[in-house]
């Protein structure tokens, strides 16, 4: 079927991409990030050209405040947003962190407007909610003209009231009004109607940009975001890999690739460099330790794999028979060999930067030594290998470090692990017996760290193909209300297991520290 010619876009058809990986994304279980990790992702988002980076919720904890402040200080180009409730204390704290971004700092304030939230959560009458929203926006506008207001649970809000709030906050100074589907409840046609309703019933609506923020509880977040821009929304809030509260948020890579692939029927564009989408997805995965499912659209391992013979035949004859977008357009390097044992430090460092890792000299030297050792052990070194090394080397704030490990095991021997670690800079050592080498190793680590964490899951896989591939171990551990994922890679699977377990314990420790510091 012939495609219609792409339509010409003016500024009104540019969709602003508001990335909330570092705020809503980070709220998802197991996805918490420290300041360095957030900064690393923010640098990549900057290179990707997103329009707005929501860096955190400054009043939530000192760590969040520092992360927003650092990103506001160091990231140039995108606007930097910080979330705050509609209270003076929240707004003041948000601006304290955001002011370093100058005119690019955006205060994002919100209050719930649906009957169910107002009655049970806020226990406030609608008139009081309206007054709070206006007061909050006025206070924020006293700091900056760049104010976004969100009507939390907008989709379940009575339309007349929603229109009233939107009109009032625009009058008070909001330049972006966000209409979130907080609980992922709507469907495309309904969401389209809500946005149209606001366009037709809010007299001052043209003075603000309409933003949408969709959750994925029913798997419709991306479809709903597309319907919203067709109805007139011009900012879409989304996250890398679609991470976020519960089932997640609108996936940035899916939304952006829909715009690019279907420009024949969607007369919109955005500024995102799509070639950086796969590296962004991988960077997030290495930071959080949580991978995407293989069949995930755009960035899943199978997204460009053609298994069936009939498909492969078609692909050989003409790629477009089964390929609607190219792997290159999303930055997939299809396991290209990138570096070998003769590669120098400069090439190594350059490739790490392209993958989103900027290490200081000491860490870079250490990572380079590991790369050389790996290149001796392994015939071919791939991007995934480099990412695993860089992810481990770039970790900071680690309380526990693995020094050495020796294991004896066999069909007749009782598995014994001797582990030496550094805890808060002090070397400690112990030995334990176990059912097998992994069990003995984890027991020894548990004893040294005095951890009470429970091991919920243990998975082992290989980073690339071949018997010389690095093994990658992923563990999930929990303690109290905290549940975290840890990853470790090595050509020795026992060492990978120890690293993954220690990574998880460090993350737990970080979470506990953060909770203690929070308000
Ligand atoms: O889902 C939601 O409603 C939010 C708002 C705070 C924007 O995350
Ligand atoms: Zn949300």
| Domain ranges, ordered by start, for the chain | 16-288, 304-330, 335-393, 400-518
Q: Is the CB of 182 under 6 A from ligand 1?
A: yes
CATH fold group of domain 400-518: Double Stranded RNA Binding Domain (3.30.160)
User: Please, is 349 exposed, middle or buried when counting C-beta atoms within 10 Å of its C-beta (0-12, 13-18, 19+)?
Assistant: middle
CA distances (Å), 156 to each of 74, 112, 165, in order? 38, 10, 14
Q: Which pLDDT band holds residue 4 (cuts at 50, 70, 90)? A: very low
CA distance 166 to 148: 11
CA distance 194 to 186: 10
Q: Which pLDDT band holds residue 55 (cuts at 50, 70, 90)? A: very high
Mean pLDDT for 168-197 is 98
CA distance 268 to 145: 26
CA distance 473 to 490: 9
User: Please, is 324 exposed, middle or buried when counting C-beta atoms within 10 Å of its C-beta (0-12, 13-18, 19+)?
Assistant: exposed
Top-ranked range on mean pLDDT: pick from 108-117, 280-289, 348-357, 508-517: 108-117
Query: Hey, whose CA ends up nearest to atom 7 of ligand 1?
Result: 150
Judge whether residue 334 has pLDDT over 60. no
CA distance 94 to 115: 27
pLDDT at 309: 65
Q: Give the number of other CB atoms < 10 A from CB of residue 272.
A: 24
Look at residue 461 and give its three-state secondary structure.
Answer: strand
Structure-token pair, residue 232: 């007139």
Structure-token pair, residue 498: 């120890």
Return the ligand 1 atom nearest residue 153 CA. Answer: 3
Ligand 1 pocket check: which of 21, 27, 58, 83 to mutate, most ligand atoms within 8 Å of Cβ?
83
Q: From the CA atom positions of the chain, what is the Rg in Å?
A: 25
Q: Is the CB of 86 under 6 A from ligand 1?
A: no
Judge whether residue 157 has pLDDT over 50. yes
Reported as a single tens digit per residue, the pLDDT across 99-141 is 999 999 999 999 999 999 999 999 999 999 999 999 999 999 9
Parallel, antiparallel or unpaired: strands 16-19 and 52-56: parallel
Ligand 1 midpoint to CA 74 (Å) = 26
pLDDT at 9: 54
Ligand 1 pocket check: which of 84, 111, 178 to mutate, most ligand atoms within 8 Å of Cβ?
178
Judge whether residue 77 has pLDDT over 60. yes
Reported as a single tens digit per residue, the pLDDT across 289-304 is 888 999 999 999 889 8
Mean per-residue pLDDT over the chain, rounded? 90
Q: Is the CB of 54 under 6 A from ligand 1?
A: no
Ligand 1 midpoint to CA 71 (Å) = 21
Top-ranked range on mean pLDDT: pick from 23-27, 300-304, 504-508: 23-27
Mean pLDDT for 193-210 is 98
- Of residues 22 and 287, the one with the higher pLDDT is 22
What does DSSP assign to residue 33?
-
Least confident of 244-248, 307-311, 503-507: 307-311
User: How many Cα atoms are found within 13 Å in the side-chain-facing hemisphere of 188?
Assistant: 10
CA distance 234 to 51: 12
Query: Hey, whose CA ends up nearest to atom 8 of ligand 1?
Result: 24
Top-ranked range on mean pLDDT: pick from 66-75, 358-367, 374-383: 66-75
CA distance 66 to 58: 8
Return the ligand 1 atom nearest residue 152 CA. Answer: 3
| CB-CB contact of 471 with 479 (8 Å) | no
Strands (E) in 57-193, as ranges, are 79-85, 105-112, 147-152, 176-181
- Of residues 131 and 332, the one with the higher pLDDT is 131
What does DSSP assign to residue 100?
G
Reported as a single tens digit per residue, the pLDDT across 264-278 is 999 999 999 999 999
Return the ligand 1 atom nearest residue 249 CA. Answer: 1
Ligand 1 midpoint to CA 180 (Å) = 6
Reported as a single tens digit per residue, the pLDDT across 454-473 is 999 898 987 766 777 788 89
Q: Is the CB of 105 under 6 A from ligand 1?
A: no
pLDDT at 519: 43
CA distance 473 to 455: 13
Judge whether residue 512 has pLDDT over 80. no
Ligand 2 midpoint to CA 117 (Å) = 15
Q: Which ligand is nearest to the CA of 150?
A: 1
Residue labelled with tokens 């495609």: 3
| CB-CB contact of 117 with 124 (8 Å) | no
CA 476, 482, 488, 492 torsion-angle sign: negative
pLDDT at 2: 41
Judge whether residue 3 has pLDDT over 70. no
Q: Is the CB of 248 under 6 A from ligand 1?
A: no
CA 308, 311, 317, 318 torsion-angle sign: negative
Q: Which pLDDT band holds residue 342 (cuts at 50, 70, 90)? A: confident
Q: Is the CB of 348 under 6 A from ligand 1?
A: no
To 5 degrees, how large is the angle CA 277–CA 279–CA 285?
Answer: 105
Enter the pTM of the model: 0.82
Q: What percentage of residues in the chain have a pLDDT greater than 70?
A: 92
Ligand 2 midpoint to CA 58 (Å) = 16
Ligand 1 midpoint to CA 426 (Å) = 43
Query: Hey, whose CA ends up nearest to atom 4 of ligand 1?
Result: 182
pLDDT at 395: 72
Query: Hey, whose CA ends up nearest to atom 3 of ligand 1?
Result: 182
When the candidates are 3.40.50.10470, 3.60.15.10, 3.20.20.70, 3.40.1120.10, the CATH number that belongs to 16-288 is: 3.20.20.70
Residue labelled with tokens 């024949």: 264
Q: Is the CB of 51 under 6 A from ligand 1?
A: no
Residue labelled with tokens 């998880």: 504
Ligand 2 midpoint to CA 402 (Å) = 37
pLDDT at 7: 45
Ligand 2 midpoint to CA 177 (Å) = 14
Judge whether residue 10 has pLDDT over 70. no
Ligand 1 pocket check: which of 22, 24, 59 to mutate, most ligand atoms within 8 Å of Cβ?
24
Q: Is the CB of 150 under 6 A from ligand 1?
A: yes
pLDDT at 374: 85
| CB-CB contact of 64 with 55 (8 Å) | no
| CB-CB contact of 470 with 496 (8 Å) | yes
Mean pLDDT for 242-267 is 97
CA distance 216 to 185: 8
Reported as a single tens digit per residue, the pLDDT across 419-456 is 999 998 899 999 999 999 999 999 999 999 999 999 99
| CB-CB contact of 113 with 151 (8 Å) | yes
Return the ligand 1 atom nearest residue 215 CA. Answer: 1
Judge whether residue 146 has pLDDT over 80. yes
Whats the size of the chain, residue-wise?
519
- Report the run of H or E that residue 223 belongs to, with start and end: helix 221-231
């Amino acid at each position: 079927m012939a495609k219609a010619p792409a339509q010409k876009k003016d500024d009104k058809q540019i969709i602003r991409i508001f990335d909330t990986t570092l705020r809503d994304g980070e709220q998802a279980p197991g996805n918490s990030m420290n300041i360095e990790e957030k900064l690393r992702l923010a640098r990549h988002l900057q290179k990707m050209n997103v329009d707005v980076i929501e860096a955190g919720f400054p009043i939530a904890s000192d760590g969040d405040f520092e992360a927003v402040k650092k990103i506001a200080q160091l990231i140039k180009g995108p606007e930097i947003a910080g979330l705050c409730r509609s209270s003076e204390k929240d707004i003041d704290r948000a601006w304290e962190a955001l002011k370093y971004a100058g005119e690019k700092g955006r205060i994002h304030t919100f209050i719930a407007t649906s009957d169910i939230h107002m009655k049970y959560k806020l226990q406030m009458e609608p008139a009081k909610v309206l007054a709070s929203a206006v007061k909050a926006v006025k206070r924020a506008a006293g700091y900056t003209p760049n104010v976004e207001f969100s009507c939390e649970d907008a989709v379940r809000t009575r339309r007349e009231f929603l229109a009233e709030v939107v009109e009032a906050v625009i009058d008070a100074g909001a330049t972006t009004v966000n209409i979130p589907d907080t609980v992922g409840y709507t469907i495309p046609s309904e969401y389209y109607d809500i946005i149209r309703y606001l366009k037709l019933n809010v007299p001052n609506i043209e003075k603000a940009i309409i933003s949408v923020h969709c959750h994925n509880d029913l798997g419709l977040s991306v479809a709903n975001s597309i319907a919203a821009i067709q109805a007139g929304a011009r900012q879409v809030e989304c996250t890398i890999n679609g991470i976020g509260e519960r089932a997640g948020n609108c996936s940035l890579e899916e939304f952006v690739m829909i715009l690019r692939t279907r420009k024949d029927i969607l007369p919109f564009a955005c500024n995102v460099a799509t070639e950086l989408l796969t590296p962004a997805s991988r960077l997030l995965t290495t930071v959080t330790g949580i991978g995407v499912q293989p069949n995930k659209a755009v960035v899943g391992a199978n997204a460009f794999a053609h298994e069936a013979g009939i498909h492969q035949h078609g692909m050989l004859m003409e790629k477009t028979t089964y390929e609607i977008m190219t792997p290159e357009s999303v930055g997939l390097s299809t396991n290209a060999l990138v570096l070998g044992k003769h590669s120098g430090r400069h090439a190594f460092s350059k490739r790490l930067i392209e993958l989103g890792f900027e290490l200081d000299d000491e860490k870079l030297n250490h990572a380079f030594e590991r790369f050389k050792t790996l290149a001796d052990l392994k015939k071919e070194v791939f991007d995934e290998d480099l990412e695993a090394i860089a992810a481990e080397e770039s970790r900071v704030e680690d309380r526990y470090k693995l020094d050495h490990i020796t294991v004896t095991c066999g069909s007749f021997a009782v598995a014994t692990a001797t582990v030496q670690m550094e805890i808060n800079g002090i070397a400690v050592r112990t030995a334990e017996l176990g059912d097998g080498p992994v069990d003995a190793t984890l027991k020894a680590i548990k004893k040294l760290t005095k951890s009470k964490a429970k091991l919920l899951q243990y998975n082992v896989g290989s980073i690339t193909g071949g018997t010389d591939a690095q093994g990658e171990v992923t563990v999930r551990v929990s303690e109290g209300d905290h549940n975290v994922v840890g990853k470790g890679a090595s050509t020795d699977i026992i060492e990978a297991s120890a690293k993954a377990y220690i990574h998880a314990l460090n993350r737990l420790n970080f979470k506990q520290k953060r909770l203690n510091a929070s308000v």
